[in-house]
Amino acid sequence: MTAADTSSSAATGALSHLRVLDLSRVLAGPWCTQNLADMGADVIKIEKPGDGDDTRHWGPPFFPDAEGKPTSHACYFAACNRNKRSVTVDMATPEGQRLIRELAMQSDVVVENFKTGGLKRYGLDYESLSALNPRLIYCSVTGFGHTGPYAPRAGYDLLIQAMSGLMSITGHADGEPGGGPMRVGVAVIDLFTGMYATTAILGALEARHRTGRGQHIDMALLDVAMAVLANQGAGFLNAGNVPRRQGNTHPSVVPYQDFPTQDGNMLLAIGNDGQFARFCEVAGVDWASDERFTQNAGRVIHRDTLIPMMAALTRTRSTAEWVRLLENKAVPCGPINHIGQAFDDEQVRARGLRVEQERYPGGSMPAGEAINRVVSTASPLRLSDTPATLRYAPPALGQHTDEVLRERLGLDAAKLQELRGKGVL
């Protein structure tokens, strides 16, 4: 997805036939709806007048103005809200609820992340909206799901990382400098939940082709967190092993970690015996013929012997030298970049992963705070015939309110003015 894609027609998107009503905010729900929007869906984001999505205010960092001074607009919001149209509606008012119901009647998908039962009092829950639109696919994203003793609780990514055990396997081991439970550097459970929600919605759409009916999707952050424990969860469930933190090393594969070099550090991800043998060949050592190290199981058992030997060896060359020598032997090796270095990497640049959009003034934006440029990371969804496209920059609050309500509900200027006077919009 490149800047050139801004001219692509929305009709070419894989999901350009779909209408999505986005009642979610923060990260998990918006990540899901941005995926759908990148694939062409028309996503209408409903926000509270005056405030909008919580992440509009989660800063610093804030977008700079034309003079490079920080505005009041947080960069966080831009991570998960491109390709959407922002409409401000106060759902606490009866007229606001009516507008949202009318939009839902015209939609294929609704995504919301209110607390369990939170939308029922507004008549915007699944039962209420599916009665009006039986084809509606309604995706709820909550911390703990709609069943079980924790269902009423609010859930945030950090809390779920702690409760699921993820933090117990992330970070340095007890007794090491800096040892202790550690969260992942991004809200990974929110992001995984957004991706699982996207998958579930696409599955429900496929089912609707056969049945003609929509359905309710109950996505819970805790469910997702337990699922993505993957091999660590499987090891406990089947062998009774309770894994512990071990820094950058791998519980089942050796050597698979960071190593010191002459000028810093590098990452070696040797996943099989052939790669280890080729590493040894390049390094000029005969460790692959040592029965302790020939096979991965032995290297795991004898890691305390092997790893110090390897660390002494890797210190003899620079990171760049190791990468140059090993990449020609198909041994996975690379630098440990900071984010600036990662975006400057030649492969990242070749794949067009930095995309830029123009953002025109509009919506509820304070005077002098117009943001004319937004940079984000391209969608990784690479479809050959229906590629992801850039249509809208992350919108200003309420930027598309009049446009959408005229287009979808036929409201004229007088009606829009009346609703604004009542504080509905």
What integer pLDDT is reported at residue 158 of this predicted model?
Answer: 97
Nearest to 109 by CA among 94, 84, 96, 126: 126
**21 three-state secondary structure:** strand
Tens digits of per-residue pLDDT, 406-419?
999 999 999 999 99
CATH at 330? 3.30.1540.10
Q: How many domains would you assign to the chain?
A: 2
Judgement on whether residues 49 and 186 belong to the same structural domain of the protein: yes
Judgement on whether residues 312 and 367 belong to the same structural domain of the protein: no
Judgement on whether residues 312 and 360 belong to the same structural domain of the protein: no
Tens digits of per-residue pLDDT, 4-41?
344 344 457 999 999 999 999 999 999 999 999 999 99
Rounded Cα distance, 293 and 305, in Å: 10
**Average of pLDDT values for 286-314?**
97
What integer pLDDT is reported at residue 373 of this predicted model?
Answer: 83
Residue 64 has pLDDT above 90, yes or no: no
Residue 361 has pLDDT above 60, yes or no: no
Rounded Cα distance, 357 and 354, in Å: 10
Residue 180 has pLDDT above 80, yes or no: yes
Catalytic member of 38, 53, 90, 190 = 190
Judgement on whether residues 220 and 268 belong to the same structural domain of the protein: no
Residue 84 has pLDDT above 80, yes or no: yes
Query: CA distances (Å), 292 to each of 163, 219, 256, in order?
Result: 38, 46, 17
Rounded Cα distance, 143 and 123, in Å: 22
User: Is residue 237 domain-resident?
Assistant: no
| One-letter amino acid of 206 | E
Judgement on whether residues 281 and 133 belong to the same structural domain of the protein: no
What integer pLDDT is reported at residue 163 of this predicted model?
Answer: 97
Rounded Cα distance, 324 and 338, in Å: 20
Judgement on whether residues 330 and 363 belong to the same structural domain of the protein: no
Rounded Cα distance, 378 and 75, in Å: 16
Task: Give the CA dihedral 113, 118, 122, 126, nearest 10 degrees.
Answer: 60
The CA radius of gyration of the chain, in Å to the nearest whole number, is 25
Q: 307: domain range?
A: 256-337
Number of Cβ within 10 Å of residue 32's Cβ equals 32
Indicate if 22 belongs to the active site: no
| One-letter amino acid of 312 | A
Match 């805790």 to its residue by tokens. 222
Greatest alpha-carbon pair distance for the chain in Å reads: 84
The whole-model pTM stands at: 0.91
Judgement on whether residues 333 and 369 belong to the same structural domain of the protein: no
Judgement on whether residues 59 and 208 belong to the same structural domain of the protein: yes
